[in-house]
Structures are given as structure tokens and as C-alpha cells.
Structure 1
Amino acid sequence: MTTLLDVRDLHVAYRSVRGDVPAVRGVDLTLDAGSTLGVAGESGSGKSTVALALLRLLPGTARTTGRILLEGEDVLGMRWGRLRAVRWTGAAIVFQGASHSLNPVRRVGDQIAEPMLIHRTVPSGRVRGRVAGLLERVGLPATRAGDYPHQLSGGQRQRVMIAMALACEPRLVIADEATTALDVMIQAQVLALLGGLTADQGIGMIMISHDLAVLAAHCDRLAVMYAGRIVEQGPAAEVVDSPAHPYAGALSAAFPRIGDPASRLAPRGLPGEPPDPAAPPPGCVFRPRCAVAEAVCTTVDPPLWPVAPDREGRSSRHAACVHVGPAGRGSVPVERP
């Protein structure tokens, strides 16, 4: 497969009266064309900051370092003219809450057409037909192009946002909590739509959510973030079913499983709160909330180590836990109800 996105040592800090507050700390991500990567974690873990950093959409108070290669070109080094050309055409974002992203006084067809007209990806005489085709692709009649956002349901507005993201045929689509505000039935339809587009068009997709069950069902790989860094990544089903990091295990256990009465009647939560990003604890940042923390965790901030590596040290999964490292047991027992 062709590497579409390669992120290395990404750091993002926000300027504040307390000085620079780190929001993302050394994130590495790789995405191939035709694949879907899920990014999970609690609110404040850095998921959305990573998404916005990929296209330099962060506010002026953010300071970003590292490398973001989109089809081999460094986004952080792009001049503004090149960056504007890449947005929508190379990569596009579907934000959470279409009601806040769509212009309430413009017809949705005009809003879908706008990026095509700006980037001139479609001759002006064919834009209307392209808008109709995009609406039909996302499951809406072409006649809805003349509607205003308030005339559409929440699920329909979200579909319009997806149509806008696909307008210029980008190679990468980032869905940032794109289905969180939808009911279960519409959520399933939108997720199936996104998955079908990835398979049919060979685009790469990053799905950001706090819902591990959704990501496990629709993503090839999963990265779990905590306090601004990735603490576990690997094949999505493996990370959810047999997590190696205690935080990933706590997230997985917090969701009741269909057909499992024990988990439905006694879901497990995670005590405590995420750390203050301006004053993280020494050693492993998850230690204050970890049920299997040891003395070494107070001094060691573990890197991502391979989980159950082969003889050459290779593994499809990695976790940032001393229990997984060279001196560890290779996995962390996760107690389930």
C-alpha cells in the first residue's frame, strides 16, 4: 500500500498565562491509502488537536513542531498558497455538529459547490451536476440542494458536511466526532457511508471518537491517546478485545457489550481525572489512575514498546507501559465484569 499520511514526533503547545501548555506530546501516526485509522481517548486527550494540526487549522496561540507528510509533502513547511490548495483537494475535515459548521443563510447546494468553485476542480458549467451527484452519493435527493440547513434533520446536515468534504475528491478525509450528535440509527448509516467511500474510492480516513465500539467496528487500526500522547496502537479489534495498556483496557471495559449481561449490568468506569497538561505527574502520566502501577512507574515514562514481538522485534501492536516493555510480562491483565 501507498503511505498517504506520515506523522512523526508531532508536538503541539498552546501559549497561556502559565506559559506553554502541551496538548500533544510526540505523536507518531501512519495511514495508508484505502485504510481507516481510529483515534480514541477521553475529552482533552489531544484527539481534535491532532486532527486540526494535520491541516494547520489550529489557532494562533498554538505552537506546532514535528513532521506531517501528506503524500510525501510536509504540511508544516508549506507556504500559505500551497496550504490553501491542499485543503479540500488533498485533505478535508468533517467536524462534529453540522449545525455549527453550515452557514444558516445559504442553501446547502451552494455550500457544497463553494470549494469546487474556489479550487476550480470542476468547470463552472458542471458544478450543479456535481453537487447533485454528491448529494445522491451520501443518500440525499438532489432536490435538497435548494434547502437551507434548518430544513434538514441532524443526520441530513451531517450528510451534507460529508458531501462538502468529498467535493474536491481529497485523498484524506478526517472525521472528527462526526457522528457523536446523531441518534443510533442515523449514526450507523453515516458510518456505513464513510466506510463504503473509503473502500470504493481508495481514500484514507481518520475517524476520531471516544467510542471504542464504533472505532473497532469501522477502523483497520486504532490509536488510543491519553494526556496528549499515544499509549497504544495496533489492529483495532485486537486493541479493543485484548488491550495491552491499562488505559485502553479501562476504555474498553467502560462500554457494555451487546449480548453480555454482566457488562451491561455492571459497566466499569475509570476513577480520577486526566492530569493537568501544564503540570503532568512525574513518570508515567497514567500512574495516578492505574490499577497495576508499580514503583518504577513513578520515574519511568515508557515509550511505545512492541507487544508480543517476534524474534526480530517486530509487532503490529505497540503500548507505552512498563508491563509491555523488555522487562515486562508482555501484556497487562484487564479485569472485566
Structure 2
Amino acid sequence: MSTPSTQKTPLLEVRDLSVTYAGGAQAVRGVNLTVDAGRKLGIAGESGCGKSTLALALLRLLPARTKVTGEILLNGEDVLAMKWGQVRAVRWAGASIVFQGAMHSLNAVHRIGDQIAEPILLHKKATPAGAKKKAGELLEHVGLPAARANAYPHELSGGQRQRVMIAMALACDPDLIIADEPTTALDVMIQAQILRLIEQLVSQQDLGLIMISHDLAVLSDTCDRLAVMYAGRVVEEGPSAAVFENAQHPYSKALSGAFPRIGDRSSRFAPRGLPGDPPDPSALPAGCTFHPRCPVALDSCTTQDQELRDAGAARRAACVLVEPGAADASLRQGAEEARSTS
């Protein structure tokens, strides 16, 4: 007699997702990701690595002529296969997004209370009076007085506007929130407040969270797991602390090394970085797309691309120097040292 399966369906499952813009730019290439309810996934990478394109693809917010293939399963249903009416029903109610740059995302000529109430009314979750009341409650939920609902965006500070964006994302009680650079242009004190707020909301409401940033340090402090993207692909993924402190892919290592450690004099006086820029997505190099910038590239890297492979406990990395099944980085570190001294 078989035992009933207790495995839960992931809140979000992305399978082999690829995005190609009109003109041939391959912005996302074969990405696979999973997010469970109550869990936080960070996506890191430089500008131009495909992070924001991935976020927009999840809710079908890309330009009409963009080619999108693969599967985006939200609560088991493929967003890419939905009819237009189903997609509209999913936006805000199933999944919502916090865009970077709140001043550019809010309508300058409408009061913020009306903007928060708009998705509530569109999804018929309340009467106009009820939507107005909930807008005030949401503002209080994110640390702003309900009376600020009558304010215009220009009357709020940067941190307050970002709180409004988070309140708007919560308006229809979504299961998943996608936060695309939610702390861009905020000072460090306000940034810390916004990050703590997001963490609390995810924990209290059992939401799934995808947080996108170029700042690996912020993501490692906020998220459970990290996925590092380069040239449209995930090149490393694993537990946040492990990826940040002991990266297995040379690109992840460079991102991590760009942030000085408190108390580490060597990183303070000689911060590490990475020369060059990510490749043009319409003219990707052959082989491993990172090899032109990689400090430990082998000859084979110029012709052979690398798939994600086992890099330890719950970790994967797409690098020829990562041995399948390796429990630690000792073998890879030895290879790197040999290459750098040759």
C-alpha cells in the first residue's frame, strides 16, 4: 500500500525560462528557480545580467514582441499559458512587484491613498469606502500614518515613498512579492529600515519573496537563498551565507569580494573588484560567457559552456573548477591558486 505524498507544490517554480528581446538580445537563458511560501530568494548580479528582465517575465510585463519560453508555475499554474484575463487576475492578487525608483513608479498627480486603493478596486476586493479604509490600514502597516493617504508622492521622502510601494504591493494580499532593487538610492539607515520591514512582512504573512539587487551583502543578510546571475544565466545558487562567505563560482567570488568586511584591514585598504562589464546580450562570447573576465579561466572555457553542477550541501555552481559532489571548496581553491601562480 503506497504512502500518500506530503510534498507541497512550490509557490513559484521557474523552469528553463528564456527571454529574447526583439533584435536578438538574449536577456535570460535557461533559468530554473524555486520559491516556497515564507521563504526569501535573493537574485544578485551586475546591471545587464538579466535580473530585472526575469522579474518582469514572471508577471508577463515585457514588451509584446519579446520571445519568452519555458514555464512559470505560480501555485502550480503556468503564467505563460494563461489567457489575458487570468494574467490580470494574478497580478497584485497572486503576485505583486515593488519596482525600483518609487518616485518614477508612483503617479505624481494622484494622492497615494488613491493609488494604493486602485488595485483593490480593480480586483473587486472592497467597495470604494472599504478600499480607502484599507489603504490607510496598509500605510500604518508599513509604518506611515493613515493620514498620509492624502499626500502626493512629492510630499514624501524617498524612504516613505518606498514604504508606499510596499503597501501597494500588499494591497490585494498576494502570495508572492517581487522586490526589484527596493532600496536603490536610499541612505543606509533608511535602507536598513526597509529591509527589516520586508523581512517582517514576509514572516508575519507567510509570503514568498524574490529580492533583486546588485548588492550581495544586502541579499545575504536578508534572504534564505541566493542565485547569482551573469549574462542571463544563474551561475551559482545556494544558502545565502555560504554563497557570500565561500563563493564557488569566480563571478560570485568577485561580487562578494567587492564589499569590504568590517575588521578586515586587507579588504579595507585593497578592495577587490572585477574589471570590464557583462557582455552584450545580443553578442555573447562563445564557451563560458564569463571567461573574458575570469581570473582563473582555462583554455577549455573559451569553447565549452558550463551547466550548474553540485558544489556542496544544497549548492550548485556553473564552473569547470567545481568538482561534482565536492563537499567543500578545497579542490577548487587549489586549482585557482595553481592557475593564478602559473
Question: TM-score, with normalisation over the residues of structure 2?
Answer: 0.92
Counterpart pick for 2:318 among 312, 317, 320 = 320
Equivalent residue number for residue 3 of structure 1: 10
Q: Distance in 2 between matches of 1:182 and 1:118?
A: 31
Using the TM superposition, name which of 45-54 and 121-130 deviates more: 121-130
Matches within 5 A, 1:1-337: 2-16=9-23, 20-308=24-312, 315-326=313-324, 331=329, 332-333=332-333
What is the CA-CA distance between 1:101 and the residue it aligns to? 0.7
| Letter paired with 2:205 | Q
What is the CA-CA distance between 1:329 and the residue it aligns to? 10
Secondary structure in 2 matching 1:273: coil
Please list the CA deviations of residues 42-93 of structure 1 after superposition, one character each: whole Å capped at 9, or x if unmatched. 0000000000000000112311000000000000000000100100000000
| Letter paired with 1:192 | R
Contact 2:311 2:327 in 1 (8 A): no
Q: Distance in 2 between matches of 1:32 and 1:327?
A: 25
Contact 2:17 2:29 in 1 (8 A): yes
What is the CA-CA distance between 1:181 and the residue it aligns to? 1.4
Q: Distance in 2 between matches of 1:230 and 1:32?
A: 18
What is the CA-CA distance between 1:276 and the residue it aligns to? 2.1
Using the TM superposition, name which of 268-277 and 144-153 deviates more: 268-277
Q: Distance in 2 between matches of 1:149 and 1:326?
A: 52
What is the CA-CA distance between 1:330 and the residue it aligns to? 6.2
Please list the CA deviations of residues 15-58 of structure 1 after superposition, one character each: whole Å capped at 9, or x if unmatched. 12xxx221100000000000000000000000000000000001
Q: Distance in 2 between matches of 1:275 and 1:325?
A: 26
| Letter paired with 1:14 | Y
Q: Quick one: structure 1 residues 329 and 70, their matched pair in 2 at CA, closer, same or farther if it must change by over 3 Å?
A: closer
What is the CA-CA distance between 1:2 and the residue it aligns to? 4.9
What is the CA-CA distance between 1:206 and the residue it aligns to? 0.3
| Letter paired with 1:43 | S
What is the CA-CA distance between 1:261 and the residue it aligns to? 2.2
What is the CA-CA distance between 1:7 and the residue it aligns to? 0.2
Aligned pairs, how many?
A: 326
Please list the CA deviations of residues 235-291 of structure 1 after superposition, one character each: whole Å capped at 9, or x if unmatched. 011000000000000000011112222212211110122122222221111111111
Secondary structure in 2 matching 1:222: strand
Using the TM superposition, name which of 33-42 and 58-67 deviates more: 58-67
Using the TM superposition, name which of 272-281 and 25-34 deviates more: 272-281
Q: Distance in 2 between matches of 1:289 and 1:328?
A: 25
Contact 1:2 1:33 in 2 (8 A): no
Secondary structure in 1 matching 2:21: strand
| Letter paired with 2:15 | R
Q: Distance in 2 between matches of 1:273 and 1:126?
A: 50
Q: Distance in 2 between matches of 1:222 and 1:202?
A: 19
Contact 1:96 1:181 in 2 (8 A): no
RMSD of the alignment, in Å?
A: 1.6
Secondary structure in 2 matching 1:159: helix
Contact 2:291 2:297 in 1 (8 A): yes
Contact 2:18 2:30 in 1 (8 A): yes
Identity %: 64
Gaps of 5+ in 1: 309-314
| Letter paired with 1:276 | D
Equivalent residue number for residue 312 of structure 1: none
What is the CA-CA distance between 1:128 and the residue it aligns to? 2.1
Gaps of 5+ in 2: 1-7, 338-342
| Letter paired with 1:300 | Q
Q: Distance in 2 between matches of 1:322 and 1:244?
A: 11
Using the TM superposition, name which of 257-266 and 182-191 deviates more: 257-266
Q: Distance in 2 between matches of 1:329 and 1:161?
A: 42
| Letter paired with 1:8 | R
| Letter paired with 1:12 | V
